[in-house]
Amino acid sequence: MAVRQIRIMGDEILTKKCKPVKAMNDRTMELIEDMFETMYQANGCGLAAPQVGVLKQIVTIDVDDGNQYVLINPEITATDGSQTGYEGCLSLPGKSGIVTRPNYVKVKALNENMEPYELEGEGLLARAICHECAHLEGQMYVELVEGELVDTAADEEEIIE
């Protein structure tokens, strides 16, 4: 496993739509392992493959609920309610902004064994799923920020990814 370089806002790859993963291979499995390591090293709770320069539909999430989630080719199938709060991004370090997201999300995806499953999440998990899936479409949270981005002290930051 290795820590990969996180692409920063302004990098063209963050604006591109990702391609579906057709089959699992050693390189893709290594990418998933590297994404978790990179995410943890940066104190994030989610990371999308384009953030490490790979245009594949892969997301890793760990919101401290005792689970690690891998979403391959994710598709949000249901949302409900809303939550508004500060959100940050590893691709825009030191900044955060207020964003409204669904409070409940249901997503269907493949796991690291390419087996289909559904994941339901509320609160932070729902926010992370929405945030990361948007990266796969070439979108960043700054497009949804209500008001201005604010500077955030790294030790106080609750970073979505």
In a domain, 91, yes or no: yes
In a domain, 82, yes or no: yes
Q: pTM of the full predicted structure?
A: 0.93
Where residue 141 sits, what CATH number does that domain have? 3.90.45.10
Sort strands 104-110 and 95-101 into parallel, antiparallel or unpaired: unpaired
Residue type, 48: A
132 is catalytic: yes
Question: Does the pLDDT of residue 48 top 70, yes or no?
Answer: yes
**The one catalytic residue among 12, 37, 132, 143:** 132
131 assigned binding-site residue: yes
pLDDT digits (tens, 9 = 90+) for 132-145: 999 999 999 999 99
pLDDT digits (tens, 9 = 90+) for 146-155: 999 999 864 4
In a domain, 120, yes or no: yes
Query: Which two tokens mark 100?
Result: 């409204």
What phi and psi, each to the nearest 5 degrees, are found at residue 160? -70, -35
- Provide the domain count of the chain: 1
Q: Which domain holds residue 62?
A: 10-149
18 assigned binding-site residue: no
Q: Distance between CA 141 and CA 87 in Å, rounded?
A: 8
pLDDT digits (tens, 9 = 90+) for 66-81: 899 999 999 999 999 9
Question: Does the pLDDT of residue 161 top 80, yes or no?
Answer: no
